[in-house]
Structure 1
């Protein structure tokens, strides 16, 4: 977590004292938007505000407040609209935040008449509570950013540019990063030298296809020599704002949203003449993302369990009533959890206090709340069971969410994307189809006994499509790739931006502007993603296919089918298939190592043991074994020298144990390939063992022949 700052490090506005003297106001204030004014979490948010929904069994708002506390901020305003009374009650009943020793002074500002972020900001300005620069943050942010670096960047830009009014925090992410927004992707045009934001535009996909942005170059007339277009950035709505931000909202009542209206409006205004800068975190240990959809809810939950957000992990026990302990394989359990002797608790699983797990039950990549009763022979995978819920014997839950105080009967099948609201009851032997949402109360809905059962309690929720901006309905095939995660959205990748130039503007400018794109790099393993107009790029699509399979734990046959279909459609060789497969596996290994999730040996063993089997359908001859080894050494040599030897040794040994690489071909490659000798130093021990084993076998065969 970022070190706590002393007040003197923060912005220090000057106010008038009682006798007219200047007094330094040492407060640094933060505004927390507790409502996103969206319906993506319906029907859950019809009962509870989004900021109080549980993430790894902790209310979302706790992650935001933890960041503010560790940033040295001492006064926080919670802008409350929807379910404001619940938020007020939560803060009042918190032993940590509502006590004399509380590190934060928290004030709930109720704005019931607000219907957008713009309305809330105007209401806050009317109250006159903000005295200087302030932090504006969404109440669904999970981050361990070092605030001191952000503040230093903001103050430097403010000193250099008198028109600077806003610093946006953006987090660099790979094209396939799970917490990137596929619902609201956006492009940022930045000055390469200063990170000044020159243009912003959202780029939603059109019918699942790639989109483009049109830039009027008049907007870039005052820009520097080098510009970059980025859409590889996670915008988690953490901003440092100056006071003119509030007055700008006040003067422009058509500004309703923070990005599409305010930021875009400021950047394109001929009157305001204000500037916006972007602070881009390049520290791999820093994590920042918003729980903006069910897809990111699932992704961030798994990131927390995998300890990528450290120290924001369950065993840090952020709230006073938590008692989690960490066990091997990313398993977390609280006190008084009862586990049957034959149940299996597998990787990335969290179980809350007083929960009971029955005989023969299997739980994997899932979170079980407090006081839950899970029956016998239940299968729960990639699912989230909130507090006080009951799951009957023999039920099967896959990529689903169960709200608090709900009852799922015996032998119930819940398919991917299904959401069961608070206090719902599903009868025995029922099947909940993909993406069906069920709520407790439904005055405007019809009960469906075929789905919830005769003794069930609940109604099928159907959103008002005119106003509901939640994820669109997907088919079962689309859903099973991950919780509310649509594969078709991956069409909107970092190669999907086409920039168009104005020829008249080009002639007027004597200098040429160089547009560059971002690159995706994990330590020394680099997969470049350049701005191209080509739609068919096997390297990009193949890499995406394998990484998607690993991240969503697909079965290998499905991954191979997708990859082979792609190979045939683009008419590439198996060499290219082997290349993207190796790059994807190494990328995942580096992720594990760089986030301190696993040691190099463990990470390589895990990935190659599970996914190295793909090469059985990619390597068919002795020459192809040699080619696989050549690709392996070339790609591993690009990794960090601290562990690339270990990765090579383990990967070759595992592929040998899987009978993908034969002893004779390994030895032949070793004799012929003299490159990257330093990387091979550890592997030499394995080669020596193979040679000795080969000699012993030859001697035994010779003795047998003589006999």
Structure 2
């Protein structure tokens, strides 16, 4: 009897251990993207270790997993695995008190997501539900909510194997530039019925959805979505690796696995979607790297911010206008550090240098009279005097000579040296040493370089060299050396890198080397007037500025007005920052207005933008609540509008500008903000009842303002009621 009791007790103990083990949440992190979009940098360092805002990409992913409550993380490494292992060993994630255990798995034979998942299955790593993510994920999403929904669906549907976490985006947002897709969901429960890749927006190619009617059986109503950012954040059951194992032709997570599961008559498994409004995206291309960097600096990922100092030894402090500086930064007295800029510890900035919308790494030596704008400078970079860097990336340990110009979209790889007086053409990628690639592509590139452009003087990359007729490897090598010397200068070090076929769009519709670069596109479809976290913002026909970013549409706007907007906003911001008096501030604005010959509408627009930036700063940094922030700023600076509007039509225009700018900014509760703004201006006698009523008649019926009209309607009704009561009291007094 005792033996049976002991056996039964042991069985119950094992069962209890199995239950506990199954409850542990595991994560599979694909550190290799199995792509070449970040070449030539990823020939030296894995993508997950490339810094975004001076923090390796893998850190964002691991921070997300830590907050998600993951207990065990497996890093699947296909290339540069030793670098990843070394990084983890030296990081906080290897400490005894780390929130989870990190295991580095060398999957050296893997060439795709499918190969990696089959390797996971062979190793028997998965014991329960797990999170599948890539090592370049940046998000502040509430994963606990997604996990709860996943568990509820698992209980209700025994065939449920995957929940895809997707984020909303505008149709042509650049985070969708490489992998746009269409999802069809059952509207009642968000079960995915169908998935299909769609052509890139740049191809202007039309496409159709061809769906088997049998897939719609039992579905009362479905919704088709092509406005989603797919960041490959999936909550998976243990069946997923086994399905990859059974289907050796599955290479891609979406186009093979998801589409195969949904269309399979044998598997009969279900995949669901979880759609969030939170900030969720991947640094999957240079374009998204650029967008995420700007959004992160502008605090769209809050509470994931740079001054949270995620890395050991980081000492970032946050200043107004989204400026971040670490300790031991040396700034010359005449240098200018402008908005949306971060500078790492040990960096030195010389006299007359201007840095704006840029990230500078640690221990950089930046000389005098240098202009860096919309660019990314990594660690240990040396830049000599009078150099200009425009919307480019300079990797670690690079040396740029004096009078160097990096044009839009330049990517300068690790350890490259650029000689003095050199101009790097638009969209050029340079590596320190040759990267193995297709010889035929090089011949095409060499021919194009030698025939397409006119001569450029000095040490600029000369493109009209003699026609290259290359038939063997020695001649190819000689041609590469010749082109490289022309490119980096006689004392420089570096070779031209041209993208492989994998960098191009599959349909070949996008011009080579343009789709995956930092290069600005003039085409409307590449222009984004929102941050990644913004969803419903529409393009405008004129150029405006939000509280955190510049909206850019090139549809007939004059340069003079653009320059005025920049200067006027800077003037008001400077006045607010330094607590100038209203008379001085208005004198500067009026002088600027007359010198550039613009209307008071432009003055009102710039003032509203600057004032609401200040409001947003107080709210975003949790210095003040929304109501207190509006009251504090407008009580001091609201009176400027009395000197910018002089009749009812101009005050109505002011109210319209305020309405649009609040909606542009994407406050959490725009109706609440607008109510307090208009109410404060009314209390200050800046807005009169007749102006408010006339304005309200023009906007109350406009559907695009429906999200904010409910609270404003109550406010306007209250004003009318108070006005009527006041009139009745006056009539009564007259009668008496």
TM range (shorter): 0.7 to 0.9
Tell me whether 429-438 or 638-647 shows the greater mean CA deviation: 638-647
1:55 to 52, 55, 59: 52
Residues 1:238 and 2:233 aligned together: yes
CA contact (8 A) 2:521 2:527 kept: no
1:97 alignment partner, SS class: helix
Q: Hey, what does 1:490 align to over in structure 2? A: 525
Q: Hey, what does 1:321 align to over in structure 2? A: 313
CA contact (8 A) 1:402 1:419 kept: yes
Judging changes above 3 Å, is the alpha-carbon distance between structure 1 residues 634 and 602 closer, same or farther for their aligned structure 2 residues? closer
Residues 1:172 and 2:175 aligned together: no
Q: Hey, what does 2:670 align to over in structure 1? A: 640
**2:15, 2:675 → 1: CA distance?**
69
Judging changes above 3 Å, is the alpha-carbon distance between structure 1 residues 360 and 308 closer, same or farther for their aligned structure 2 residues? same
2:126 alignment partner, SS class: coil
Judging changes above 3 Å, is the alpha-carbon distance between structure 1 residues 205 and 138 closer, same or farther for their aligned structure 2 residues? same
**1:118, 1:603 → 2: CA distance?**
56
Judging changes above 3 Å, is the alpha-carbon distance between structure 1 residues 20 and 267 closer, same or farther for their aligned structure 2 residues? closer
Shift of 1:326: 1.2
Q: Deviations over 1:342-362 (max 9, x none)?
A: 111111111111000101111
TM value normalised by structure 2: 0.70
Residues 1:378 and 2:370 aligned together: yes
Q: Hey, what does 2:484 align to over in structure 1? A: 448
Alignment of 1:421-570 (within 5 A): 421-442=413-434, 445-446=480-481, 447-465=483-501, 483-488=518-523, 490=525, 542=540, 551-552=549-550, 554=552, 559=557
Higher relative contact order (CA 8 A, sep 6+): 1
Q: Deviations over 1:94-134 (max 9, x none)?
A: 2x122222222111110111110000100110011111111
1:290 to 282, 288, 308: 282
1:391 to 383, 396, 399: 383
Judging changes above 3 Å, is the alpha-carbon distance between structure 1 residues 466 and 277 closer, same or farther for their aligned structure 2 residues? closer
Shift of 1:628: 4.1
Q: Hey, what does 1:39 align to over in structure 2? A: 36
**2:146, 2:541 → 1: CA distance?**
33
CA contact (8 A) 1:383 1:399 kept: yes
CA contact (8 A) 1:593 1:603 kept: no
Judging changes above 3 Å, is the alpha-carbon distance between structure 1 residues 388 and 17 closer, same or farther for their aligned structure 2 residues? farther
1:454 alignment partner, SS class: coil
Shift of 1:162: 0.9
CA contact (8 A) 2:541 2:553 kept: no
Alignment of 1:251-400 (within 5 A): 251-282=246-277, 286-400=278-392
> Which has a greater percent of helix?
2
Tell me whether 148-157 or 100-109 shows the greater mean CA deviation: 100-109
Q: Deviations over 1:583-628 (max 9, x none)?
A: x989x9899589826987789999xx9xxxxxx9xx9x99985874
Q: Hey, what does 2:88 align to over in structure 1? A: 91
Question: When the two structures are aligned, how many residues end up with a matched partner?
Answer: 589
The unaligned stretches of length 5 or more in structure 2 are 1-9, 436-476, 563-600, 638-643, 664-668, 698-711, 721-736
2:421 alignment partner, SS class: coil
Shift of 1:651: 10
RMSD: 4.6
Shift of 1:543: 6.3
Alignment of 1:607-646 (within 5 A): 628=653, 631=656, 640-645=670-675
Shift of 1:220: 3.3
**1:489, 1:217 → 2: CA distance?**
35
Alignment of 1:113-124 (within 5 A): 113-124=109-120
Q: Hey, what does 2:64 align to over in structure 1? A: 67
Judging changes above 3 Å, is the alpha-carbon distance between structure 1 residues 467 and 395 closer, same or farther for their aligned structure 2 residues? closer
CA contact (8 A) 1:136 1:240 kept: yes
**1:17, 1:175 → 2: CA distance?**
55
2:144 alignment partner, SS class: helix
2:18 alignment partner, SS class: strand
Residues 1:143 and 2:127 aligned together: no
Q: Hey, what does 1:507 align to over in structure 2? A: none
Judging changes above 3 Å, is the alpha-carbon distance between structure 1 residues 464 and 20 closer, same or farther for their aligned structure 2 residues? closer
Residues 1:184 and 2:168 aligned together: no
1:200 alignment partner, SS class: strand
TM value normalised by structure 1: 0.73
Pair member with larger Rg: 2
